[in-house]
Amino acid sequence: MPGQRLNSTASARPDVRKPPRHLRPVRSRLSTAEIQAELERVSYKPGWTFTCYDGRWEGQHLAITVEVPDATRPGRTVTLDVHSSLPPIPDVPYLHTWLAWRLGRIENHEMREFLRVDGKAVFDPHPPFADRDLT
């Protein structure tokens, strides 16, 4: 208002105030480029590679690729090419935690292929309905 003085804590333009902190937009996830840059710093076992990409329909994905022994054909190898949708990754520590969880699932799958009694997989990960995790 004309002739009114502003105190030292008031904004010079009260009509251009910042919204309250809880209403300000927050960054909800790392970009695909930021995830890939971090994955380039990560190592696991020899030959394992990690690639982040934007999927056509489902957003960010991680591809894990490695050549491993074939459980059903001794002396041969098979290339694993595992593609997983990523949850929103808010920061690097969360990425590391999620990656450790995902690697654990892959390793569990491989263990179930190789654990055999009399040549037969005890917990075959490939029988009918294996993807349903039935008991």
Q: Is 133 helix (H, G, I), strand (E, B) or coil?
A: coil
User: Does the structure show a pLDDT above 70 at 71?
Assistant: yes
To the nearest whole percent, how much of the chain has pLDDT over 90? 67
Instruction: Please tell me the predicted confidence (pLDDT) of residue 39.
Output: 98
Instruction: Please tell me the predicted confidence (pLDDT) of residue 24.
Output: 54
- pLDDT band for position 11 (cuts 50, 70, 90): low
Q: Supply the angle between the helices 92-114 and 32-39 in degrees, to the nearest 10.
A: 60
* pLDDT tens digits for range 75-120: 999 999 999 999 999 999 999 999 999 999 999 999 999 999 999 9
Cα Rg for the chain, rounded, in angstroms? 25
